[in-house]
Structure 1
Amino acid sequence: MQRVAAKGRLKFISPQLPRLVEVPPVSHDWIHEIKYDGYRTQVIIDWDGARAYTKTGIDWTARYWPIVTAAETLGARDAIIDGEVIAPKADGSPDFHALRSAMAWNAERLAFVAFDLLHLNGKDLRPLPAVDRRAMLWDLIKPATGAIQFSQHVEGGGADFFKGVERMGLEGMVSKRRGAPYRSGESDAWLKIKCYEFSELELLGVKRVPGKPPMALMGQGGKYAGSAFITLPKQIRERLWKRVQAGREAPVGAPSVNGVEWLKPGLKARVKHLRGESKLRHASVKGIVED
């Protein structure tokens, strides 16, 4: 059923965004959560029912209908909940590659992991400390075992928490100042720390566009593995450009990409990338290995 715009409905609030850093904060002024690999989502509940919006405010209520249905049973007169939509595996960890398929064909598999509460029963909660908002969120959604779940946190011990996240093979973690208010946009009060690993991969080709960082197309076992930014010192980059063989045919399985200069076999690169992905994500070339 298509919803009709109505006066007085709660409006979408631009989300607070974490700033990417290399290491987690270590003071006890921070709380730490798992960074769920999914789609940032805002669920709004008011007299007109429940709705779900993407990070940029696009209405995805129809795609997330099981989550929206569950939200309407929470018992709040009105609320705005911030969280992440995931497709959980059997062990509860997010399966990013199954997410889009679940959205299209099996929405019942989706779960909304709630981690903040911006509004509740006529009150704007954004000025309150993060830990107070989260306590109110838990009271609203507990026991949080169905389509709407709760993002657990620990207080302090950021370094140890990150080690645990790495051991579990997760994407990363988010650290938040326990006493900070909620403010839209990127903020130092929220930090994200991602888990990476290094792999030695075949360098298939490069794409150079003026004004943009050059990209490397990588392969593994004769198959295309994804692309990575080339972040190398000037001297190494110049040696690499000399290996570029313009006009060489694309390797088998490589994507159809305009403007790629393919390389002859025999060149590998040491690539830093997010762990546990079927294709490279957030990847960068850190070194060249010549046979």
Structure 2
Amino acid sequence: MAKPPRSRSLQATDQPLRSRPRKLRDPAQPNLPLDPLPERVEPCLALLKARPPKGPRWAFEIKWDGYRLAVHIEPKGVRIITRGGHDWTDRFPAIAKAAKKLDVATAILDGEAVVLDEQGRSDFGLLQQSLGDRSGKRISTEAIFMAFDLLYFDGHDLRTLEFTARRHLLEGLIKSRDDVIRLSEEIEADGDRLYFAACEHGLEGIIAKDRESPYRSGRRGDWQKIKCIQSDGFAIVGYEHSFVARAGIGSLLLGARHGRKLVYVGSVGTGFNERTAHELRAALDKLKVKKPPVEYSGRRKYIVWVKPTLVAEIEYRAWTHDGKLRQSSYKGLRDLEENAAIYEILAN
């Protein structure tokens, strides 16, 4: 049987056939359409709940106690942006250096900068200490970054993808468990059991995330936080002078917002060490005022009132029947650049 004749075009060359382009390609046009890299992304915030949600739709992680950050890996370098939109790249040089080593051209990682204690628990107080004196350079070489979401990856905006898909890409990007940038592990467990286990081990709480949700900025309920111990920001309205306590501070007097005014919500006398007490005293003595910024009916003999500028992170167990903090402990000062929020008492 005779073989079919070969095409003349194939006799002349072994290269594959190609059609002629309709017009010359613009060199500035990328081969594939890429999403613009966002300058900043408003973070997705977790909604406080009393109990964990139920059902297979929810993924669970440990709640980290640190500074919420977005690590931007860009063609020009790395930027570390805070929840409030400030550039803190210089404050976390180790995290920035580790981000440059990740095998990705462009990315935005969402996570938390933390310092771990000897038991592997995140400790906001240790993070504040690692950043140094408030009058210093505020640089931490001890902080690590616990990444829990991936918002942008190699030219593609991932925010419209469901959480499970974003998580899958994040797990492929961060493979080391001992590096400065680590993966916040998803824990396969019943929400209630995980919550009680977290509380037994002295953790702050857990986070529940809707596996099917896109990344939406704000507090919409796609992410939920269930806390073992309450922790919020309160204005320092004064301190009780002591002749025996460190730096002369017996306790800090605290205020919360109630409508348009501040109200007194009790005091805190634990959580200080020698260093933090002296830093507080130096800062507070620059803010002295004669008139109390809150209504106060207690003993005033040794009270020093201050302008309510500084916001303290306070850990507490509950509220008393008369609206005071119960079993409170000082954890550190919130950074004023981050628009430190003061706890707001909701009207009945």
Normalising by structure 1, what TM-score? 0.71
Q: Shift in Å at residue 171 of structure 1?
A: 1.1
Aligned to 1:50: 78
Q: 181, 192, 195: which is aligned to 1:148?
A: 181
Structure 1 segments, 4+ long, off by >4 Å, are: 203-210, 269-279, 281-285
Please give the secondary structure, in 2, of the residue aligned with 1:173.
strand
Q: Sequence identity of aligned pairs in percent?
A: 32
Q: 50, 58, 69: which is aligned to 1:30?
A: 58
Please give the secondary structure, in 2, of the residue aligned with 1:132.
helix
Q: 164, 177, 183: which is aligned to 2:197?
A: 164
Aligned to 2:297: 244
Name stretches of at least 5 consecutive residues in structure 2 with no aligned partner. 1-35, 133-137, 231-250, 273-294, 309-319, 335-341
Aligned to 1:266: none
Name stretches of at least 5 consecutive residues in structure 1 with no aligned partner. 1-7, 198-202, 224-240, 260-268, 286-291
Any idea what the Cα deviations from partners look like across 1:226-271, whole Å, max 9, x if unmatched? xxxxxxxxxxxxxxx9x935x73135xxx63469xxxxxxxxx576
CA contact (8 A) 1:10 1:46 kept: no
Matched, 1:60 2:93: no
Q: 118, 129, 132: which is aligned to 2:165?
A: 132
Q: 218, 221, 245: which is aligned to 1:185?
A: 218
CA contact (8 A) 2:130 2:142 kept: yes
- What is the one-letter code of the residue matched to 1:91? Q
- What is the one-letter code of the residue matched to 1:190? W
Please give the secondary structure, in 1, of the residue aligned with 2:91.
coil
What is the RMSD of the two structures over their aligned residues, measured on CA atoms? Answer: 3.5
Structure 1 residues 275 and 88: CA distance shift in structure 2, 3 A? farther
Any idea what the Cα deviations from partners look like across 1:139-195, whole Å, max 9, x if unmatched? 101123211011011245111110011011111111100111101111111111111
- What is the one-letter code of the residue matched to 1:178? R
Any idea what the Cα deviations from partners look like across 1:84-130, whole Å, max 9, x if unmatched? 00011233211211212212476221100000000101111111121
Q: Shift in Å at residue 275 of structure 1?
A: 7.8
Structure 1 residues 278 and 127: CA distance shift in structure 2, 3 A? closer
CA contact (8 A) 2:266 2:325 kept: no
Q: Shift in Å at residue 9 of structure 1?
A: 6.0
- What is the one-letter code of the residue matched to 1:145? D
Matched, 1:214 2:266: no
Matched, 1:75 2:124: no
Give the distance between the partners of 2:252 and 2:154, measured in 1 at CA: 57
Q: Shift in Å at residue 216 of structure 1?
A: 2.5
Report the structure number with the largest CA radius of gyration.
2
- Structure 1 window deviating more from structure 2 (146-155 vs 158-167): it is 146-155
Give the distance between the partners of 2:72 and 2:153, measured in 1 at CA: 10
Aligned to 2:146: 113
Q: 121, 124, 131: which is aligned to 1:93?
A: 121
Q: Shift in Å at residue 274 of structure 1?
A: 8.1
Structure 1 residues 192 and 274: CA distance shift in structure 2, 3 A? farther
Give the distance between the partners of 1:206 and 1:40, measured in 2 at CA: 24
CA contact (8 A) 1:30 1:156 kept: no
Q: Shift in Å at residue 205 of structure 1?
A: 7.4
CA contact (8 A) 1:21 1:192 kept: yes
Please give the secondary structure, in 2, of the residue aligned with 1:117.
strand
- What is the one-letter code of the residue matched to 2:265? A
- What is the one-letter code of the residue matched to 2:297? V
Give the distance between the partners of 2:171 and 2:99, measured in 1 at CA: 13
Please give the secondary structure, in 1, of the residue aligned with 2:129.
helix
| Greater percentage in strand | 1
Aligned to 1:16: 44
Q: 189, 194, 199: which is aligned to 2:227?
A: 194
